[in-house]
Amino acid sequence: MLSVVVDLGGTNIRLAVCEPITGELTQLETFLCADFSSIDEALIQYFEGLEHGVDHLCIGIASAFDGDYVAMLNLNWAFSIRALKKKLHLTSLYVINDYTATSLALPFLSSSEKVQIGSGEAQQNGVTAVLGPGTGLGVSHIVKFAEQWISLDGEGGHVSFSANTQEQAELLTSLQAKFGHVSVERVLSGQGLVNIYQSLSLRAGLEIKFTLPKDISRAGLDGTCCIARKSLDIFCQVLGGVAGNIALNLNCTGGVYIAGGIVPRFIPFLEQSEFRHFFEEKGRVKGILNKIPTFVITKDNPGLLGASVYLRQQLSK
């Protein structure tokens, strides 16, 4: 019988078989969520391609939930954990937040699987944080306790966005008119980049040329659109400011990591941006923040690695 781990986001569902002792991941598959009407359809298709039955399953999911019923925020999928376990004939089923999973991968990243941005040195076993702009914005922290890594769950992507420059204040005003409450996720996500770009375009009286984040990123990086370039600048500023806030919440001497599908695509741009300036520029506590390192995760599928850590820790109890 096999152990399987899953990383379920708003766009993709990634699956792998997890070796229960070493944590080695094999038989990796990635499906588009849009190709399925429910999670059980995707899981059954994956299971049918395996040589043996599945006994244990751990799902990292991009959603907040409490109890048996799980409804995703950025995808029209919902399910009962008990019913899914019964339908798939599992001995154990663990459902965790996707950034719980991503956070648990952090201690196991090699130096080649992350890129440091700016100064600072991680303290061994210090509190560590991760945030990841993607379809939404995931946030989590981890601490070490009794020789196991414990993830501190939360919904930090939905805290209120606060402005640190006049341009950011104008962006906030624009988004308040559209959404009412403006969460950080409204700025730090794929759609958030679109929100920045459209707000800047409207304020400048210019035509909105792009509606997809990938097109804005491309035009900003290759210099063919000054508004797209400015959108990336502001995105990096806000990312730095939010990362600094997260670092201060629990004094993250283990570092702050950036995950998600957006930032790893433009690391050289991030390195030259004001990201680190806005991370450190917190007035009287700047001396604390300049000692805390920031990293971009470059490893493929860190959520699967973290889900395997969680599953193996649970099975070892």
DSSP state of 48: H
DSSP states of 192-209: HHHHHHHHHHHHHT----
Q: Tell me, what's the pLDDT at 26?
A: 96
**Per residue in 31-86, pLDDT tens?**
999 999 999 999 999 999 999 999 999 999 988 788 999 998 778 899 999 999 99
The CA–CA distances, whole Å, from 20 to 169, 235, 258, 309 equal 50, 40, 27, 9
Give domain 2-103+301-315's CATH superfamily.
ATPase, nucleotide binding domain (3.30.420.40)
Residues in the chain: 317
pLDDT range class, residue 1, cuts 50, 70, 90: confident
Domain boundaries, the chain: 2-103+301-315, 110-298
Q: Tell me, what's the pLDDT at 75?
A: 86
Distance CA 214, CA 13 (A): 20
Q: Tell me, what's the pLDDT at 135?
A: 83
Class of residue 221 by CB neighbours under 10 A (exposed 0-12, middle 13-18, buried 19+): middle
Domain 110-298 has CATH 3.40.367.20: yes
* 87 has pLDDT over 80: yes
Q: Tell me, what's the pLDDT at 201?
A: 97
Q: Tell me, what's the pLDDT at 154?
A: 81
pLDDT range class, residue 11, cuts 50, 70, 90: confident
Contact between 63 and 100 under an 8 Å Cβ cutoff? The reply is no
Contact between 13 and 304 under an 8 Å Cβ cutoff? The reply is no
* 152 has pLDDT over 80: yes
**Per residue in 165-219, pLDDT tens?**
999 999 999 999 999 999 999 999 999 999 999 999 999 999 999 999 999 999 9
**Per residue in 218-258, pLDDT tens?**
999 999 999 999 999 999 999 999 999 999 999 999 999 99
pLDDT range class, residue 136, cuts 50, 70, 90: confident
